[in-house]
Amino acid sequence: MTVLILVLLTAFIVYFIIKIISATIISIDGKGIQVRECIRYLWNDIQLEKITVKHLVSWESKHDYRPEMNYLYFFHKGEKIEINIDDFDMTDYQLSQVLKIFRSRYNHSGL
């Protein structure tokens, strides 16, 4: 009986870990950009979307390796939005191509 409870508990924990890991972080489509479950940023309110790289520098490693962090960067109604994209399953190049495709589709849709 104890083994059955342990197996069920383990399966339950694994299920929720997989569910959390596989959750959608960002959605880009013809309407705009949505991050997690937050509001959707509509294309007509988005300007200057691009992928940027920030180099992190600390006093200890001034001349050594400088780690990079990649961001999706855009303005939404005049407010600067930066989204860290290092944990995404796609490269920054792939994400920039997706941005170009959906921005172009929006621009040619007549909306």
Q: What is the pLDDT of residues 16-32, one digit of tens each?
A: 666 655 555 788 988 99
Tell whether the model's pLDDT for residue 48 goes beyond 70.
yes
Which DSSP helix (H) or strand (E) runs through 82? strand 79-84
**According to the model, what pLDDT value does residue 21 have?**
56
Lookup result for tokens 């959605």:
27
SS3 readout for 11-66: HHHHHHHHHHHCCCCEEECCCEEEECCCCEEEHHHEEEEEEEEEECCCCCCCCCCC
Rounded to an integer, the average pLDDT of 29-44 is 88
CB 31 within 8 A of CB 42: yes
Residue 28 CB neighbours (<10 A): 19
- When mean pLDDT is compared across 35-39, 55-59, 89-93, the lowest value belongs to 55-59
Kindly report the average pLDDT of the chain as a whole number: 82
Q: What is the pLDDT of residues 84-109, one digit of tens each?
A: 888 787 888 999 999 999 999 999 88
Quote the DSSP letter at residue 79.
Answer: E
Rounded to an integer, the average pLDDT of 55-73 is 74
pLDDT tier, 67 (very low <50, low <70, confident <90, very high otherwise): confident
